[in-house]
Amino acid sequence: MEHIRMPKVENVRLLDRLSSRRAVVGTLYLTATHVIFVENGSETRKETWVLHSQISSIEKQATTATGCPLLIRCKNFQVIHLVIPQERDCHDVYISLIRLARPVKYEELYCFSFNPKLDKEEREQGWKLVDLNEEYNRMGVPNNYWQISDVNRDYGVCDSYPTEVYVPKSATAHIIVGSSKFRSRRRFPALSYYCKGNNASICRSSQPLSGFSARCLEDEQMLQAIRKANPGSDFIYVVDTRPKLNAMANRAAGKGYENEDNYSNIKFQFIGIENIHVMRNSLQKMLEVCELKSPSMSDFLWGLENSGWLKHIKAIMDAGIFIAKAVAEEGVSVLVHCSDGWDRTAQVCSVASLLLDPYYRTLKGFMVLIEKDWVSFGHKFNHRYGNLDGDPKEISPVIDQFIECVWQLMEQFPCAFEFNERFLIHIQHHIYSCQFGNFLCNSQKERRELKIKERTYSLWAHLWKNRADYLNPLYRSDHSQTQGTLHPQIAPCNFLYKFWSGMYNRFEKGLHPRQSVTDYLMAVKEETQQLEEELEVLQERLANLQKSQSGNNKVKSKQQDRSKQFGLYTSNNSLANTPQEYSSDLKSFPSRSPSQGDEDSALILTQDNLKSSDPDLSANSDQESGVEDLSCRSPSGGGCLPSEDSGKDSDEAVFLAG
Amino acid sequence: RFVGSLGTIVIKCKDLRIIQLDIPGMEECLNIASSIEALSTLDSVTLMYPFFYRPMFEVLEDGWSSFLLEQEFEHLSSVTNEWRLSCVNKDFSVCPSYPPVVIVPKSIDDEALRKVALFRYGGRFPVLSYYHKKNGMAMLRSSQPLTGTNGRRCKEDEKLINATLRSGRRGFVIDTRPLNVAQQARAKGGGFEQEVHYPQWRRIHKYIERFHILQESFIKLVEACNDQSHNMDRWLSKLEASNWLTHIKELLTAACLAAQCIDREGASVLVHGSEGTDSTLQVTSLAQIILDPRCRTIRGFEALVVREWLQAGHPFQQRCAQSAYSNSKQKWEAPVFLLFLECVWQIHRQFPCSFEFNEHFLILLFEHAYASQFGTFLGNNESERAKLKLPQKTMSLWSWVNRPEELSRFQNPIYEANSLVIWPSVAPQSLQLWEGIFLRWNRPSRFLEEAEEERINIIKYNKELQAKVNVLRRQLAEMETDGEVQEE
């Protein structure tokens, strides 16, 4: 590829962030799709794969005696610190990566070259896994109050909306078109969620072009129609998710918010969620805290607070809780908007849906939810996640925040979700990876033009195929937590919002719990299932034997598989790890036994299957099967720091380094 | 403790719960309030509940004699003969805060111990805290040496701790005070081990906060947790300002360091601060949690608490008198033991399958250390307990807890014995607030309890199936052999 100036550099050092001495030497390769670092060292040859599309920034630091440091920050929060011996090589790598990380055409993205060796039919089946028509039917529409409208069939009314939208039956095409002209980017009110039980609904739109005094009859009729579609209630809430000040400032530009005097029977409500620029800066600040080298507790807590991140997460949750409450408890329909209605509106609608409907808390339902509220309604994935080179001011962690909200809920309701944390982390990864076509472009229209479904694969099919990895062992469909609406506590529960190290320090395994309860319980459950099967077989055989009393045919017991199974999770428990640097005082102490039996580090040697990046997430076509996703799935993988596999005594000094 | 006004009594409990009672009638209310006030601030130990408590359960095993040092020594003798039991303190005259028997190096006789006791603060001469079977290294604990400003030395003291070293090897002294505090201590007759006299030992100062600083921190944290405001920022800054998690981090780091010296450096370690009754015990007991799989079992953890806290003379009565809601400034009050329990919880969280007990067990110990119907945590040391005749007059917590029906509540369903050393992460990202203690009364816990139940059920069902399958297998095997016999 023409952009690669330097396909291979040898004797590159990969530094460990926690310890400068824990570095490994290897070879760096640049390919058309990945940066690959292969460790030297005969046994393990650990590989680190990073997709170009994951690279968020590359920083070349001042050359030192040992070489030229290159810092690669990834969108999935991996930070790779390389030292390249020659300044010139480093420069070439830097220039190449700068270009590779910022593709200008969709065709350059990985999903167009990624080939998981599925035939055409399987690919098509994959795209059919999530079907929004089916989803609206499941919700109970169309019905007496709601109908599908084809007013946008050629994207003629709104080019960022899907072709098929659900609107109140009483809203004629004339009303819809009229209303769309009175809304930013013509994003007219459309159905997001319908509550079968009480006819209440969640609708979404962009802000009205009301300025200081403008009004629009059709828009007012549209809101009336939404209210009428819920005969049980005599008003609707209009929720503006922006801070009031921002909304007022918009009026000067001819935009703004609904005037309660002009619309009959609405209750207007501001919920102050900050805009994408504030969120981008907040994340940046929090990541700086995560990157601190051995921070003190105060540094960390102070930095976390200062970033404001958890405050923003809480604001989004509060908005979702407000809407869910209005729908479930008051039976009132809600119209949600922000400015353009594709960021905060998507966050809030999806949080509310998740709280309201247990279906969205299942594996399949969660895919449907993202498809419904994000993909189909024109969340600008390309702009927000910087898939193609573009305006950096458009980038913002909007869906990351939604994903975190889900995680925060999972922490509060451990039995309510069918999926586990890993599922969320992998979805986040793929939103940036561009390995699958789902999140390409900014709208359905663009995706159709690019023929995404014919040319790329669907992430949902991939996740569904591996669903065993993503299950929450505590989930039971008949459990009370999986029924009905979730009611998170709102009042003084600031402490319920916690820092998510599993996401933001995802690649620093040393910081995470060393044993995974989820993996352990999943292994137990799997074994239980085998036991159930065996029990059945045994009972049958026993019955036969008792009948005939002559059954001496030896049926091979399943014991062997079972003990293998056992091994799986006992090994999980014999997790080993090594100490961190607890003190700098130890290093000058000379007398150290050179021949120290190191049983725990010896064990680490067997756990070299750890990959620094999710290989399944970064594998290219011919690497697919070779580089399975072990780092996340293998219960032993979580146990050791990336560079600890070489648990030799000579490395001992590492723990004592200053 | 209470605040009475207009027929309302607010009772703030030591387990951090706040109860509000509305009582009709001003007079009744005042009477009740003053009664509670009086009854909750008894001055005499012998008037306290443990002396009146009559157990409603059958005692299967007397907890007072469940964990004797003799048993521990027996265990030790099976692997090494370098140590001996000494009864030099049998009448508590050598060291009032030590138990009657202690474990010391075999080569040191009682006469020498008496001399060393005079050289150590409060008579707390170095004794064995933990023996690392894997490499024969020992962890000792003591109080500070009384070197004073003129650098006094004590040959017996040097000989005692050198007796724990292998030839040609060195050891570490972990002093839980910063260097300047240790230096200042000399003016008051205290001090630290100087290199000239202890050439085989390297001193590390690892500062751990003590007394009123900890208590203030505790009070601030509890205040923050009870704050009813809606502001996210305030919560994090209050959590930060309480410094509680900083103490946790420092303490864990010190314990890890001690464990690292023993396991990784193959060196013996002596731990002490000033008195050797607080931070010293935190470090030695946590290091054992990290190093010794036995301490991660229920029985082993109980033994650890008895050995390293009760027998080692942590003054529970002084430290755990009032808890966090006290208005009056208690000079000796400090949540030293609670900090230890929380550190165990932090390690537990990082290694959820490696402990036989669950979080409830730690919470139980917290509660009983502050208020209990059992006599276990009364008194400040073994000598006081003997004087109060606690074993005769009160019931031991262990007698109750170790009955099978109680134990089952404290078992960790996903425990799988792990014989390895477990190294926790002490990074801020890895440490969390212990919600089970601090948010216990103001967080919705139903969903978490349901999750716990679910975990138990998954394991239980698995075990049941396993048992069934085993029974059937055996039956089948028997029938098959019978069948074969018949055929023959």
Which residue is associated with the tokens 């203030």? B216
- B171 interaction partners in chain A (CB closer than 8 Å): none
Q: In which band, very low, low, confident or very high, does the pLDDT at B216 lie, cut at 50, 70 and 90?
A: very high
Q: Are A205 and A187 in contact (CB under 8 A)?
A: yes
User: Which residues in chain A touch residue B420, judged by CB atoms under 8 angstroms apart?
Assistant: 574-576, 599-600, 603
Q: Which two tokens stand for residue B49?
A: 């509940």
pLDDT at A29: 93
Spatial contact of A153 and A163, defined as CB atoms under 8 Å apart = yes
Give B 128-157 residues with CB within 8 A of chain A. Answer: 134-135
> For chain B, what is the mean pLDDT?
90
Residues from chain B contacting residue A600 (CB–CB below 8 Å)? 420-421
Q: Which neighbouring-strand residues pair with A193?
A: A202
Establish whether A344 is an annotated binding residue.
yes
C-beta atoms of A311 and B233 within 8 A: yes
Q: Residue A557: which of B134, B169, B473 has the nearest Cβ?
A: B473
Token pair 């458009």 in the structure block, residue: A394
What is the C-alpha to C-alpha distance for residues B63 and B377, in angstroms, rounded to an integer?
A: 12
User: How many residues does the structure list for chain A?
Assistant: 658
**B246 vs A297, A314, A585: nearest CB:** A297
For residue A423, give the 3-state DSSP assignment: helix
Residue A51 predicted with pLDDT over 80: yes
- What span, in angstroms and rounded, lies between the C-alpha atoms of A348 and A367? 16
Mutate to test the interface with B, among A514, A578, A601 (most CBs of B within 10 A): A514
Average pLDDT, chain A: 82
Residue A583, annotated as binding a ligand: no
Q: How many helices (H) and strands (E) does chain A have?
A: 23, 14
Residue A178 labeled ligand binder: no
pLDDT digits (tens, 9 = 90+) for B358-388: 999 999 999 999 999 999 999 999 999 999 9
Statement: residue A434 has pLDDT above 50: yes
Judge whether B472 is closer than 8 Å to chain A, CB to CB. yes
- A347 closest CA partner among A188, A194, A239: A239
Q: How far apart are the first and last CA of chain A?
A: 43
Joined tokens for residue B72: 């521990």
Amino acid at B183: Q
Helix (H, G, I), strand (E, B) or coil at A45: coil
Q: Does the CB of A648 have a partner CB in chain B at under 8 Å?
A: no
pLDDT tens for A234-281 read 999 999 999 999 999 999 999 999 999 999 899 999 999 999 999 999
CA separation for the pair A502, A492 (Å, rounded): 25
B2-5: strand order across its sheet: B2-5, B8-12, B18-22
Give the model confidence (pLDDT) of A73-83 as tens digits: 999 999 999 99
Q: Is B249 on the interface with A (CB under 8 A)?
A: yes
In a mutagenesis test of the B interface, which of A522, A586, A654 is the best target, namely the one with the most B β-carbons within 10 Å?
A: A586
* Residue A342 marked in a binding site: yes
Residue B232 — very low, low, confident or very high, per pLDDT cuts 50/70/90?
Answer: low
At A570 the pLDDT is 38
Count the residues in chain B. Answer: 488
From chain B, the residues in CB contact with A655 under 8 A are 260, 264
pLDDT at B4: 45
Q: Where are the alpha helices (DSSP H) in A79-216?
A: 87-100, 120-128, 132-139, 173-181
A638 contacts A104 by C-beta, under 8 angstroms: no
The alpha-carbon gap from A86 to the nearest alpha carbon of chain B, in Å, equals: 34
Residue type, B414: I
From CA A315, how far away is CA A318, in angstroms rounded?
5
- Interaxial angle between packed helices A309-325 and A398-412, expressed in degrees from 0 to 180 and rounded to the nearest 10: 70
pLDDT in tens, A81-104: 999 999 899 999 999 999 998 899
What is the distance between the alpha carbons of residues B478 and A468, in angstroms, rounded to a whole number? Answer: 38
Of A511, A538, A592, the CB nearest to B429: A511
Contact B419 A574 (CB under 8 A): yes
| Nearest residue in chain A measured CA to CA from B251 | A582
How many angstroms from the chain centroid is the CA of residue A126?
Answer: 20
**A 482-501 near B (Cβ less than 8 A):** 489, 491-499, 501
Joined together, the tokens standing for residue A652 give 């001992």
Handedness of CA A144, A145, A146, A150 (dihedral sign): positive
Q: Where are the beta strands (DSSP E) in A189-235?
A: 190-194, 201-205
Q: Sign (positive/negative) of CA torsion B288, B291, B293, B294?
A: negative
Alpha-carbon distance of B144 to B272, in angstroms, equals 6
Percent of chain B with pLDDT over 70: 96
Per CB-CB distance under 8 Å, the chain B contacts of A554 are: 480
CB pairs under 8 A between A and B: 249
**Burial (CB count within 10 angstroms: exposed 0-12, middle 13-18, buried 19+), residue A536:** exposed
C-alpha to C-alpha distance for A137 and A139, rounded to whole angstroms = 5
Task: Give the sign of the dihedral formed by CA A418, CA A422, CA A424, CA A427.
Answer: negative
CA distance B117 to B126: 9
pLDDT on residue B6: 61
A490 is in an annotated binding site: no
Helix ranges restricted to H, B163-306:
179-185, 211-225, 232-242, 244-263, 279-291, 298-305
C-alpha A35/C-alpha A17 separation (Å) is 19
For residues B40 and B61, give the distance between their C-alpha atoms in angstroms, rounded to a whole number: 31
- Both tokens of B389, joined, read 């005749």
Helix (H, G, I), strand (E, B) or coil at A516: coil
B428/A591 touch (CB, cutoff 8 Å), yes or no: no
pLDDT for the residue numbered A578:
65
CA–CA separation, A256 and A126 (whole Å): 41
CB B9 within 8 A of CB B36: yes
Question: Counting beta carbons within 10 angstroms of the beta carbon of residue A554, is it exposed (0 to 12), middle (13 to 18) or buried (19 or more)?
Answer: exposed
What number is the ipTM of this complex? Answer: 0.92
Higher pLDDT residue, A568 or B158? B158
pLDDT tens profile B64-84: 999 999 999 999 999 999 999
- Cβ pair B429:A514 closer than 8 A: no
Query: Of B217, B236, B246, B435, which to mutate for an interface test with A (greatest number of A Cβ within 10 Å)?
Result: B236
User: Percent of chain A having pLDDT more than 90?
Assistant: 64
Q: Give pLDDT tens digits for A359-403.
A: 999 999 999 999 999 999 999 999 999 999 999 999 999 999 999
pLDDT band of residue A225 (cuts 50, 70, 90) is: very high
Say yes or no to pLDDT of B182 above 80.
yes
- Is the Cβ of A414 closer than 8 Å to some Cβ of chain B? yes
- List C-alpha distances in Å: A128 to A116, A132, A642, B299, B359: 17, 10, 38, 57, 46
Q: CA separation (Å) from B441 to A156, A292, B81, B222, B225? A: 57, 34, 50, 11, 10
Contact A302 B240 (CB under 8 A): yes
Beta bridge partners of A203: A191, A335
Cα(B471)–Cα(A170) distance, integer angstroms? 68
Residues of A annotated as part of the active site = 338
**Per-residue model confidence (pLDDT) at position A582:** 75
Q: Which residue of A has its CA nearest to B412?
A: A517
Query: In the prediction, which pLDDT does A555 show?
Result: 43
Q: Are the Cβ atoms of B442 and A492 closer than 8 angstroms?
A: yes
Residue of chain A minimizing CA distance to B256: A582
Number of other CB atoms surrounding residue A460 within 10 Å = 23
Q: Distance, in angstroms, between B111 CA and closest chain A CA? A: 33
8 A C-beta contact, residue A49 and residue A67: no
Q: Do B422 and A577 touch (CB under 8 A)?
A: yes
pLDDT at B233: 61
* Cis status of the peptide bond prior to A492, with omega within 30 of 0: no
**Do A495 and B206 make contact, defined as CB atoms within 8 angstroms?**
no
* Residue-range domains of chain A with CATH: 8-102 (2.30.29.30), 120-519 (no CATH)
Identify the pLDDT of residue A115. Answer: 86
Return contacts of B198-201, CB within 8 angstroms, 24+ apart.
B198/B158, B198/B161, B198/B173, B200/B162, B200/B165, B200/B169, B200/B170, B200/B171, B201/B161, B201/B170, B201/B171, B201/B172, B201/B173, B201/B270
pLDDT (tens digit per residue) in A578-632 = 666 676 555 433 333 333 333 333 222 223 333 333 434 433 333 332 223 323 3
Contact residues for B15 (Cβ-Cβ < 8 A; gap 6+)? B323, B366, B367, B370, B371, B440
Categorize the per-residue pLDDT at B278 as very low, low, confident or very high, splitting at 50, 70 and 90: very high
Distance of CA B240 to the CA centre of its chain: 25
Structure tokens at B355: 């402990």
Q: Which amino acid is at A599?
A: E
* Predicted local distance difference test score (pLDDT) of residue B327: 67
The CA-atom distances, in angstroms, between B362 and each of A118, A243, B17, B325, B437 are 53, 45, 17, 21, 9
pLDDT for B366: 96
Q: Does a cis peptide bond (omega within 30 degrees of 0) precede residue A473?
A: no
Confidence of residue B167 (pLDDT cuts 50, 70, 90): confident
Q: Is B441 on the interface with A (CB under 8 A)?
A: no
Chain B residue numbers with beta carbons less than 8 Å from the beta carbon of A299 are 428
Residue that has been written with the tokens 């129609």 in this structure: A225
Measure B36 CA to nearest chain A CA, in Å. Answer: 30
- A499 Cβ partners below 8 Å, 6+ apart? A304, A310, B429
B267: nearest CA partner in chain A: A592
Query: Considering only CA atoms, which of B163, B178, B45, B172 is closest in space to residue B103?
Result: B163
Q: Judge whether A297 and A266 are in contact, CB under 8 Å.
A: no
- Among B315, B435, B431, which residue's Cα sits nearest to residue B380? B315
Q: Does A290 touch chain B (CB under 8 A)?
A: yes
The continuous run of DSSP H or E covering A527 comes out as: helix A517-548
Please tell me whether A338 is known to bind a ligand: yes
Q: Which residues contact B470 (CB under 8 A, 6 or more apart)?
A: none
pTM, 2 dp: 0.89
Q: Would you call A29 helix, strand, or coil by DSSP? A: strand
B404 touches A: beta carbon within 8 Å: no
A553 interfacial to chain B (CB closer than 8 Å):
no
A116-125, A464-473, B250-259, B291-300: which range is least confident on average?
Answer: A116-125
pLDDT in tens, A315-357: 999 999 999 999 999 999 999 999 999 999 999 999 999 999 9
CA A450 – CA A436 distance, rounded (Å)? 14
Residue A42, pLDDT score: 65
Question: Which among A499, A517, A557 is the nearest to B429, CB-wise?
Answer: A499
A200-204, A356-360, A633-637: segment of lowest average pLDDT = A633-637
Query: Residue B280's pLDDT is what?
Result: 96
Between helix B244-263 and helix B211-225 the angle, nearest 10°, is: 130
> Which residues, 6+ apart, have CB-to-CB distance to A584 below 8 Å?
A657, A658
Q: For residue range A500-557, what is the model confidence (pLDDT) as tens digits?
A: 999 999 888 888 888 889 999 999 999 999 999 999 998 888 888 877 765 444 444 4
